Structure 1
Amino acid sequence: MKLRFNSLLFSIVLLAVNASCFGQTKQDSLDVRAAVLDYIESQHTPNPAQMDRALHSRMVKRTFWKDRGTGKEYLRETTPESMVLLAESYNKKKDKFPVVPKKEVRFLDISDRTASIKLIADDWIDYMHLIKLNGSWKIINVLWQYHDSERHQ
């Protein structure tokens, strides 16, 4: 009986320690998801304010690219300012996405202040890092690629 009680007590203490170390809440998960959806949905329906809301001012978005002339591969980077401009103009004609666009948000890891997410969209995959600063979740890093990597040129 005493052994069972000690095991139960140990389990409760362990859960409490884990909760305090990895203290994301249900609201954190909802807020991370909202930031990721702001990012992709701002491109579906042009909305630069929605994109701006999702991104940290020092976010960097990266991918690999191939120069068509030389065939040499290189790292291509995009800034928050470019992403806000993209959100303003990319899908103005409503021809870049299906009527019901794909936006699958997969949580790879989340703690009380950081999160890693995989966003699967119609034509590409984004791996994202988010950070919680001043109570708000923002995208700080994005690494992306087309599903068909031959499109990177």
Structure 2
Amino acid sequence: MNLSAIGIAATLVLSGSLAAQDPRVDGEPRIVEMANIFARGFYELDPAAPQSVIHPEISKIGIEANYWNTGRDVIEELSPGDLLVIASALNRNGHIDAETAAVGVDFFDQTETVGVIQLTADRAWYDFFLATRINDEWVFVNCAYGNVPDIPNPNAEADSDAIESRMRDYIDGYYAGDVERALSGFYVDADRRYVERGEDTEYLQPQTMEILRQQIAQAGETGRFANSDPADVRVIGLTRTTGAVRIDADGWTEWLFLQRLNDEWQVVNSFWEAT
């Protein structure tokens, strides 16, 4: 795997104010601004700020390591309500200097309607965010997060290969109608969603794992992808515990976030757009 594919399209470090952006890149200035608003809401004990840039049904997934001293990791999902509480208390002791703390924004991928970034909140945490445009407003809908010390990955080459292999199983299994192979790398109740884009209104639409299983099985029964070219699978972001992947398939593009759960890479959420 050529790790240049994991490179950063743009790196921006913001302090007190938003840095000037290239206006030619559609959506980029707003996504950077959103990241700044989100992180600084926690720095400044302003719980309303993060809420203003996230979808009310955001999928924000992390890992709680060594759950109850069992030696096993479990998925941790933070709801908007959880984020309200956390933002009102996280910096109560002032351990983050709101005046000097940085917000780093690395772009992994961007289209007209989707932006995928890594937000690095000073030395506190990082978020892999997927933003999309809904009714002409950009909003964060998917997230996988972790701790800043886990950003450097000394085993990046091997982890990238492992993630790519899992995602190849997903899309090749999908094309073949092999449900078990396709979903072997998915967390049991991973969040898969898309935006229903109508002429008059748009809204975020969830898809359950049950629906996905049925779609994959139907693909096998109908031979829908029998003559399709192989899908393109690219690892676009990676830390020690979190991965981001883009898949360009026959009929759709999908962006998937993975977490390393008990030493196994698993998809925790994804977002797709028809092509």
TM-score band, normalised by shorter chain: 0.7 to 0.9
Q: Identify the residue that residue 83 of structure 2 maps to in structure 1.
A: 83
Contact 2:40/2:98, CA 8 A, preserved across alignment: no
Q: Does 1:130 align with 2:121?
A: no
Distance 1:89 1:123 in 2: 14
Q: Secondary structure at the match of 1:41?
A: helix
Residue 144 of structure 2 aligns with an amino acid whose one-letter code is: L
Matches within 5 A, 1:61-140: 61-66=60-65, 67-97=67-97, 100-121=100-121, 122-140=123-141
Long gaps (5+) in structure 2: 1-22, 151-275
Q: By percentage of residues, which structure has more helix?
A: 1
Distance 1:88 1:74 in 2: 25
Displacement of 1:96 after TM fit? 3.7
SS at match of 2:69: coil
Count of paired positions = 126
More contact order relative to length (CA 8 Å, sep ≥ 6): 1
Kept in 2, the 8 Å contact 1:52–1:84? The answer is: yes
- Distance in 2 separating the partners of 1:68 and 1:31: 40
Q: What TM-score results when the alignment is normalised by the length of structure 1?
A: 0.74
Question: In the alignment, does 2:144 pair up with 1:147?
Answer: no
Could you tell me how far 1:132 is from its partner in structure 2? 0.9
1:67-122 Cα shifts (integer Å, max 9, x gaps): 14211111111011211222222213322457511311011111111110011221
Contact 2:62 2:77 (C-alpha < 8 Å) held by counterparts = yes
Task: Determine the structure 2 residue equivalent to 1:34.
Answer: 33
Q: Which amino acid aligns with 1:126?
A: D
Tell me the distance in 2 between the aligned counterparts of 1:58 and 1:83: 12
- Aligned residues of 2:120 and 2:148 also touching (Cα < 8 A): no
Alpha-carbon distance change, 97 to 64 in structure 1, aligned in 2, over 3 angstroms: farther
Q: Aligned partners of 1:54 and 1:85: how far apart in 2? A: 16
CA RMSD of aligned residues (A): 2.0
Amino acid across the alignment from 1:47:
D
Structure 1: tracts of 5 or more residues without a match: 1-23
Q: Say if 1:60 and 1:80, in contact at 8 Å, map to a contact too.
A: no
- Residue 137 of structure 1 and its aligned partner are, at CA, apart by 1.0
Paired with 1:52 and 1:63, the residues of 2 have a C-alpha distance of: 18
Preserved contact between residue 35 and residue 103 of structure 2 (Cα < 8 Å): no
